[in-house]
Structure 1
Amino acid sequence: MKILIVDDNVAIQEIIKDILVDEGHNVRVAGTAAEAVQKVSDFNPDVVVLDSKVGDDDGFHILSEISADRTPEELKVILLKGGTELAPTDNPYIKASMDKPFRSSDMIDALRTIQEADRTEETVSTEKARNKPKKGLFRRRSKDDVPMDGTLEEDGLTFGRSYVIFEQVPRGIYRFVNLFIQDKCDVLIVTAGKAKAVKERFSYDSIEVLSLSGRGKSGTMDIQELGTMTANIRHFIEGHERPVVIFDTFGEIIAVDGINMSFLMLQQLMSGKSRACTFGISVDPTVLTKKDMAILMHNTIEYKIQE
Structure 2
Amino acid sequence: MPTISRMQATQIDQAAAFMAQFQHDPSTHLGFAGPQAEQIAQTWRELEFPIEQQFALAFEADQLIGLIGLEQISDTGRAFLWGPIALGEHRFELADALLAELLPELQAHVTMIDIFCNLQNQFVRDWAARQQFYQRNTHAILSYKRSQLTEHVTTGDVEILPAELHAAFCELHDQLFPQTYYSGSQILERINHDRQVFIIRDGEQLLGYIYTERQPEFAEAGIEFVGVTPAARGRGIAIKIMQHCLAWIFSVETIQELELVVDQDNPNALKVYERVGFTLLHEMISLRRDVIAQ
TM-score by length of 2: 0.32
The structure that has the greater radius of gyration is: 1
Greater percentage in strand: 2
Higher relative contact order (CA 8 A, sep 6+): 2
- Superposition TM-score, scaled by structure 1 size: 0.31
